[in-house]
A = this chain, B = another copy of it.
């Protein structure tokens, strides 16, 4: 009933009913993504769940594409935070760092299973969006700097190694999310398959020419 409420009021610009509809819309969009998949995230459904008119989101997102891009940026930011944290303090153990990086991506992609897929749907989001690109670069840079820090003589370009690692991680996740692979253990190593597939690649990178 005093300065606190006053401040809150002062932050609201003219015409606003919610404190900040944009934040509410992003939250409801993410909720719909988790519960119904990306096709459940319609402008009108988001507006319904937020309790506003079907055209209210247009004031905050000029198109559905922009709204989905904003949701994807949030998801990317979370992935970037997790991967960067996972490889911290593993700079001198590149093989472990690669495994930790990959493991983080796997867990992130499989746990709430609809989020990861949105990140790569070019028809739905604008991958040139600056906010999105920044977060995407943070993930890729984490992997790249991890390879730069170690002392191994790379037979191919460091960027090629990074692309190889990322391609395998992303490819395996994509196939799993599409339902083409199932979670399984490798028959020889008894490791979960997502760990086992990295073995050959890491061997190829770190033990070649030896």
Contact = CB atoms under 8 A, between A and B. Distances in A.
A202 to B, nearest CB: 7
Interface in A66-117: none
Nearest 7 CB-CB pairings of A with B: A171-B171, A204-B204, A200-B204, A167-B171, A164-B197, A203-B204, A167-B172
Contact of A157 (B187, B198, B207): B187
A157 B196 contact: yes
Contact of A171 (B160, B172, B189): B172
- Copies of this protein in the complex: 2
A127 B178 contact: yes
Interface in A17-59: 37-39
A160 B123 contact: no
Contacts of A205: 200, 204
Given A127-B179, A200-B201, A201-B204, A193 B122 contact: no
